[in-house]
Amino acid sequence: MRDGLFALTDAEKFYKQLYENGDRKLLKKPMTYAEYEQLSENRRKYYHRIEHYHETVTTNTPGNTIKEFDADGDQVEVVLHGRYGYPIMHNHAYIELVYVYSGACTHFIEDQKLLMKKGDLCILAPEAMHALAVEDEDTVVINIMMSRHLFDSSFLKILKGGRMTSDFLENILYRKKVSPYLIFPTGEDSWIQELALRIYKERKEKDYLYNESVTLYVKQIFIQLIRKYEMMAIISDPLDNSQESNIMALMGYLSVNYNHVTLKQAAQFFGYNENYLGKILMRYTGKTFSNLISELQMENAKKLLEETNMSITEISVEVGCYDSSHFTRKFKKAYGVTPNNYRKEMQERTTYK
């Protein structure tokens, strides 16, 4: 361990001893709070904080484990996850990042069991029930908690895939239409490792303006995720809990090629047959290929109407609608106004600002 920074605490040493003397089986599956209450008093000796919050904050239901955390501000809370501790299912009102700095751990999320390895970074949705089991003293898992406001402004709103990608991820994390988590496999990325280490050190040492410093480091992690790993996000299949590693790449591909790509071309690019690709899109987005393409066409047409002097005919061609009258009907159906009138409205708003 780096300079003893991640040395076992007294509590971890205590639970390691229990683990080696028969408690190993208790870390193999998630534990409800009711099951935790059945443990001997000796096994519960280091869990007074959890008991306090469970009884006084959550009114004996799953809830926040950090009472003082401001779920709406820019505060960032950092915790080193305890090794050999019991995987007690719980949830939070805020966004949580779970980063495996070294080793491997088991992450129980809702009804799923995931093996996370070094470099895996999991973004967990608010209110998602989860628990971690860390069964190795050389494994280091860093938990980073933040408000939805900070996460939205630092990550969702600057995704390279644009509006469709950010909307898709919002549906996952906030509306749970697919699954309550994303996993980015960053592997041996030394920059993210270094940022995670700096975040933990800042939180541990609590020097002047440490929260501001931690917030900046978190934003740098998000920038690195977007630069290198945005299209590699792993998302659970909403029907059978298997993990789909191509869905983000597929959404990004459609965002870039929406103005000319066909279902057949997209299927060939990803090595799928057309029916299977259509089913994947419907399963993850609730929309057909045609619906998604139409939404992208209209969204980009709006942007061109707002930001350029291109003619309606030029815009219709640019977004893949080669008949301007068809484009006009399509735009009006989507937004209740013709492209020309939409542009006039935007220009008037700008004039009177």
Residues 164 and 287 occupy one common structural domain: no
Quick one: tokens of 320? 């893949």
pTM above 0.85, yes or no: no
Q: How far apart are CA 129 and CA 347, in angstroms?
A: 47
Contacts of 170 (CB under 8 A, 6+ apart): 156
Residues 227 and 256 occupy one common structural domain: no
Which of 236, 255, 288 terminates a domain? The answer is 236
Contacts of 275 (CB under 8 A, 6+ apart): none
What are the pLDDT digits (tens) for 76-102?
A: 889 999 999 999 998 888 899 999 999
Q: Is residue 40 part of a domain?
A: yes
| Reported confidence tier of residue 75, pLDDT bands at 50, 70, 90 | confident
- pLDDT at position 142, please? 97
Residues 15 and 71 occupy one common structural domain: yes
List helix spans (H) across 21-125.
33-37, 48-56
Q: For residue 9, what is the domain's CATH number?
A: 2.60.120.280
Residues 159 and 306 occupy one common structural domain: no
Q: Is residue 195 part of a domain?
A: yes
- For range 253-277, the mean pLDDT: 90
Residues 222 and 300 occupy one common structural domain: no
Residues 227 and 255 occupy one common structural domain: no
Number of domains the chain contains: 2
Alpha-carbon separation of residue 118 from 102, 224, 231 (angstroms) = 5, 17, 19
Q: Is residue 291 part of a domain?
A: yes
Q: Is residue 306 part of a domain?
A: yes
What are the pLDDT digits (tens) for 269-286?
A: 888 899 999 988 888 888
Q: How far apart are CA 23 and CA 2, in angstroms?
A: 28
Query: Contacts by 127-131 with C-beta closer than 8 Å and gap 24+?
Result: 127/91, 127/92, 127/93, 127/180, 128/91, 128/176, 128/180, 128/181, 129/62, 129/89, 129/90, 129/91, 130/89, 130/90, 130/91, 131/30, 131/31, 131/87, 131/88, 131/89, 131/90, 131/107
Of 92 and 263, more confident: 263
Residues 196 and 312 occupy one common structural domain: no
Q: Answer yes or no: are the C-beta atoms of 177 and 238 closer than 8 Å.
A: yes
What are the pLDDT digits (tens) for 289-342?
A: 999 999 999 999 999 999 999 999 999 999 999 888 999 999 999 999 999 999
- pLDDT at position 62, please? 44
Quick one: tokens of 151? 């996460």
| Nearest in space to 95 (alpha carbons), one of 248, 204, 218 | 218
Quick one: tokens of 150? 């900070």
Q: For residue 347, what is the domain's CATH number?
A: 1.10.10.60
Q: Is residue 108 part of a domain?
A: yes
Residues 196 and 53 occupy one common structural domain: yes
Query: Contacts by 261-269 with C-beta closer than 8 Å and gap 24+?
Result: 261/293, 263/289
What are the pLDDT digits (tens) for 130-146?
A: 999 999 999 999 999 99
Q: How far apart are CA 24 and CA 120, in angstroms?
A: 24
Residue 170, pLDDT above cutoff 80: no
Q: What is the identity of the amino acid at 96? A: E
Which of 236, 264, 281 terminates a domain? The answer is 236
Q: Is residue 241 part of a domain?
A: no
Residues 199 and 309 occupy one common structural domain: no
**Residue ranges making up the domain that contains 276:** 246-351
| Reported confidence tier of residue 60, pLDDT bands at 50, 70, 90 | very low
Residues 290 and 347 occupy one common structural domain: yes
- pLDDT at position 176, please? 57
> Chain centroid to CA 9: how far?
30
Q: Is residue 252 part of a domain?
A: yes
Of 194 and 174, more confident: 194
| Reported confidence tier of residue 196, pLDDT bands at 50, 70, 90 | very high
Which of 236, 255, 287 terminates a domain? The answer is 236
Residues 254 and 156 occupy one common structural domain: no
Residues 265 and 319 occupy one common structural domain: yes
Q: Answer yes or no: are the C-beta atoms of 284 and 244 closer than 8 Å.
A: yes
CB neighbour class for 159 (10 Å; exposed up to 12, middle 13-18, buried from 19): buried
Q: Is residue 297 part of a domain?
A: yes
- pLDDT at position 122, please? 95
Residue 245, pLDDT above cutoff 70: no
Mean per-residue pLDDT over the chain, rounded: 85
- For range 100-123, the mean pLDDT: 95
